[in-house]
Structure 1
Amino acid sequence: MDINIFIERRKSLKISQVKLCKGICTQSTLSKFENNGRIPSLAILSKLCERLGLSVDDLYRNSIESTTHMKMVLDRVESELMMESYSQVSQSLTEIKIDEINNDALKMQYYYQKGLYLALTKGKPEDVFFDFAQILDDLDERHQSIFSYLSYIGLGKLYQNLKRDTQAKFFFGKVEDYIDVHKDETFQKSGVNVYLRILTLVFYTAEFLIKQHEFKKSRDLIKRGIKLCSEQHITYYLPRLKLLAAEIAIYEEESYETIDNLLSEALAFAKINQNEKVELRVNALREKYNRENQ
């Protein structure tokens, strides 16, 4: 029995042990099952699995070889990347054995996530290039999927970190064109990860454009990102998008009220998402702004 499948499903649904076992068994029974592998009675286990949308049979599949499990882990990484939970991303990616993935879409998801994680945490350039090359030179040679453009984001970030703006501009420019071409495209509601990926393109491109002082282009992307967050009820990127909007407002010397409102909104959404990193950035930017405008 692979208990990790059970644990991953519970965590992905954000159901606590207390909530899951209510009316079925004690929390101690559930904890012993998850932590020590002590299997409860079949009746109890069946009810717990049913509450998670699983069957007991699902737990007998090898977790690494299970496409369902790998997709679950990679989808979790998707969210962890959005939240900048990089230590969790690193840990989660170790659960995947890429050689045992037979699905090209999952392979591309893995390589984009690993490459972007390395680019964002200033990993070795050769490792970043290798991961994105798997997509750009092999799995999506014709560059038709969104994974190619997520790879361009990672390469843009890499060159930005290396202070090679010409190269960074080249890759972010490709992403800009992609966003513009697909701006009116819609996807099925169940495809939340598709929208998260689009927001990833929007956010990092807008962030780069601010560094280039291309405020109009950046503002347009930020508005598009906030609109998409609102329409799809996705909050991961809202704090950072609002923070970018505040940065532009400060650069362009907008009113104190406008800047204060944007910072307050960024802070509020950061608290909702429990994103402490954005909270710290908002507070630091507010202090800096107040200090320079006393």
Structure 2
Amino acid sequence: MKKSAVGKLIETERRKNGFTQEMLGDGICTQGTISNLENLGRLPTLETLLAIVERLNISLEQFYETIKSDSSMYHDEFKQVQLLCNKLKHKEAKELIVQLIEFDRLTTNLQRMKYYYYFGITSLIGENDYREAFYNFNQVLTIDSENANIFHILATNGIGVTYYFENDSDKAKTYFEKALILLENISELDSFDVRNSEIIKVYFNTAEYYSEMHEHKKAVDIAEKGLEHCRNNDIDFGQEFLIYAKAYNLYKLNQKARAEQHFIMASSLAILNDNQNMIIAIKKDSKEFNLELLEKFLEM
């Protein structure tokens, strides 16, 4: 497997200094973080990364030049795809993947997992192509399967969504629950995974599933658990999805006042994040549920 330029640099300098991965990470991070950096090209937090660079006596100039030279990372392109998906613009995201990201230029497992996951989710939501979705999500699960990361969790959840769209609620539940179990082991994942806003989708999709199954209390509990994770890990972008799920299911539990309060909070964040599809959904609910305060807020 071809490694990223950053991964090669860290491994080369570590060996020059006579460090094992565990020795390099001592007092900074786990051995697994070093392994992921070298083998997957997965960058930890900036603080951790700078501590590793300092321990290896790598100049900042050399380090930043290495990052710039690794043109196959596609950081900006994947970020654009993620933002489009967060705004439910999956067709546009799919077009971006096809036009800008060349699979053969991806050099690390992490990049390939990103590609397969986003190709799968955009095929599913943007094109209703279940076969393409299944194929790409399963491709994610075959890569470095012994070391679960956020994209394994997202792909597992994505399979649940695909089964649900195919009206197979039993299989969907199996994969939704499996993804939640993987999330329970989040402490074993590195900081990249813990703080990744994509985690919101796992909680939201699962809450939506239980809402459709009329298990509204469970849907509220899952949404609350997702919001707690966001608070604990400083994740702000995308919280409107979880607050909306909580609001909708509170209403179904006959808690109208609390539901309306949460609808207004979700609306505020949706407006802030330019989430037009969410705003449309909330407007529809405000009329259907006769939520006067919410309607007044949306008219402002």
Q: Give the TM-score taking structure 2 as reference length.
A: 0.68
Query: How far, CA to CA, are the matches of 1:124 and 1:78 in structure 2?
Result: 19
Q: What is the one-letter code of the residue matched to 1:269?
A: L
Q: Distance in 1 between matches of 2:237 and 2:208?
A: 16
Deviations 1:108-166 (A, max 9, x none): 011011111222234322211221232223x1344723322211111111111111111
Change (3 A) 1:279 1:192: farther
- RMSD of aligned residue pairs (Cα, Å): 2.7
Matched, 1:200 2:204: no
Give the C-alpha shift of residue 192 in structure 1. Answer: 7.5
Q: Bigger CA drift: 244-253 or 119-128?
A: 119-128
Give the aligned partner of residue 252 of structure 1. Answer: 253
SS at 1:195's partner residue?
A: coil
CA contact (8 A) 2:109 2:144 kept: no
* Equivalent pair of 2:150/2:193 in contact (CA under 8 Å): no
| Structure 2 residue runs without a partner (length 5+) | 1-63, 292-300
Runs of 5+ in structure 1 lacking a partner? Answer: 1-53
Structure 1: distance between partners of 2:236 and 2:92: 19
Distance 1:202 1:285, change over 3 A: same
SS at match of 2:209: helix
Figure out how many residues of one structure are paired with residues of the other and give that number.
227
In structure 2, how many angstroms separate the alpha carbons of the residues matched to 1:250 and 1:131?
36
Cα pair 1:215 1:248 within 8 Å, conserved: yes
Aligned to 1:273: 273
Deviation at 1:197, TM superposition (A): 2.6
CA distance in 2, matches of 1:74, 1:260: 35
Q: Secondary structure at the match of 2:92?
A: helix
Which residue of structure 2 aligns with residue 222 of structure 1?
Answer: 223
Match of 1:85 in 2: 89
Of 68, 75, 80, the residue aligned with 1:76 is 80
Query: What's the % identity of the aligned pairs?
Result: 20
* 1:168-247 → structure 2 map (5 Å cutoff): 168-182=172-186, 187-188=190-191, 191=192, 194-247=195-248
Q: Secondary structure at the match of 2:198?
A: helix
Secondary structure class of the residue paired with 2:289 = helix
Give the counterpart letter for 1:228 in structure 2. H
Indicate the larger mover: 79-88 or 170-179.
79-88
Alignment of 1:101-180 (within 5 A): 101-137=106-142, 139-142=143-146, 144-180=148-184
What's the CA shift for 1:194? 4.5
Cα drift, residue 233 of structure 1: 4.0
- The answer as to 2:287 corresponding to 1:287 is yes
* 1:162-219 alpha-carbon deviations (Å, 9 max, x no partner): 111111111112112122333x56754xx37852132221221122122122333322
CA offsets 1:270-294 (integer angstroms, 9 cap, x no match): 1111111101101100100018xxx
For the residues of structure 2 that align with 1:285 and 1:181, how far apart are their CA atoms? 35
CA contact (8 A) 1:243 1:266 kept: yes
The one-letter amino acid paired with 1:270 is A
Amino acid at match of 1:120: I
Give SS of 1:168's match: helix
Whole-Å Cα distance in 2 between the matches of residues 245 and 147 of structure 1? 25
Change (3 A) 1:194 1:110: farther
Code of the residue aligned with 1:221 in structure 2: it is I
- Paired with 1:107 and 1:97, the residues of 2 have a C-alpha distance of 10
